[in-house]
Amino acid sequence: MEFHTQVSAGPAQQNPEKVKKLVVLTARVHPGESPASFICQGVIDFLVSQHPVAQTLRDHVIFKIVPMLNPDGVYLGNYRCSLMGFDLNRHWQEPSPWAHPTLHAVKQLIVQLSQDPVGLEFYIDVHAHSTMMNGFMYGNVFEEEERVQRQAVFPRLLCQNAPDFSFSNTSFNRDVVKAGTGRRFLGGLLDDTSYCYTLEVSFYSYMAAGSTSPVPYTEDTYMKLGRNVARTFLDYYRHNNFIDDNKLQISNHINSMEVLSQGRQGNGNGNGRTSGSERRAERKNQSITGEY
């Protein structure tokens, strides 16, 4: 059983002479972690939009997205396990086509992609966390200091884009208990030009820099974190000179594309939610300013 979405830019992306990067995102391997679906939805909505950042990304990057690794567990309302009672995020090493069909298919896809001439550069598995606040990442531990530093670049850039993402909560480890996770297994399988992360987000709230009180997460703010993840790929590839700044005409608004509205945090009722009229006004404003 295989579920994946490829975001394509049409004829321009079909040019075999055009070098592109390859990114794989997966989500909802633990069925009870529903915030992961909203983050994934935010990534997808942004990438298929007409926003100039999204258009530039589609010209340079191939995204393969698996929005639900555990559909049977989600259907049954399970918190962590599949229909067969397995925690799929502990079976990446040797998934069974019978007991872990989605994992088996996705692993085969990723192995195939890693052998493609384009090369697989990013794998990010999206989860939700029950005790910690904010969004944050888990990464792997390497012996080579240069690889360690390169691995930290993406979460640092995401921290600059997303006020609810915490680099201080981000950690890099090789916990034996996590050996069967996607992040750990693929981190050892793929070559040293690939980066594998687990993206976590709190079930309940985040603390923005300088804030003294937590802000409850909503469906909208989860999706906005997803949009910030997507646009961070542009920052990453600009930082590495893969995308030429001279060819972009979006510098005036890329940094102003604030997806966690400050007005929403101070709307007077303190619950971090936005009314329908406020959302309509926000969308109208975004269509005028070019923000997303």
Residue in the block written with tokens 């006004």: 281
User: Which of 87, 85, 80, 65 lies closest to 181, judged by CA?
Assistant: 87
Residue in the block written with tokens 């888990």: 138
Neighbour tally for 158: CB within 10 Å: 26
Could you say which of 33, 121, 200, 258 is catalytic?
Answer: 200
- Sign of the torsion angle spanned by Cα atoms 166, 168, 170, 175: negative
Residues whose CB is less than 8 angstroms from the CB of residue 33 and which lie 6 or more positions away in sequence, other chains included: 127, 128, 203
User: Which of 190, 187, 233, 199 lies closest to 21, judged by CA?
Assistant: 233
Residues whose CB is less than 8 angstroms from the CB of residue 231 and which lie 6 or more positions away in sequence, other chains included: 46, 53, 57, 161, 254, 257
Residue 216 β-bridge partners = 205
Q: Where are the alpha helices (DSSP H) in 9-51?
A: 35-47
Whether residue 200 lies in the annotated active site: yes
User: Which of 199, 187, 194 lies closest to 162, judged by CA?
Assistant: 199
Q: How many CA atoms lie within 13 A of 116 on its CB side?
A: 18
Residue in the block written with tokens 């909560």: 169
Quickly count helices (H) and strands (E) in the chain. 10, 9
Q: Which residues are catalytic?
A: 200
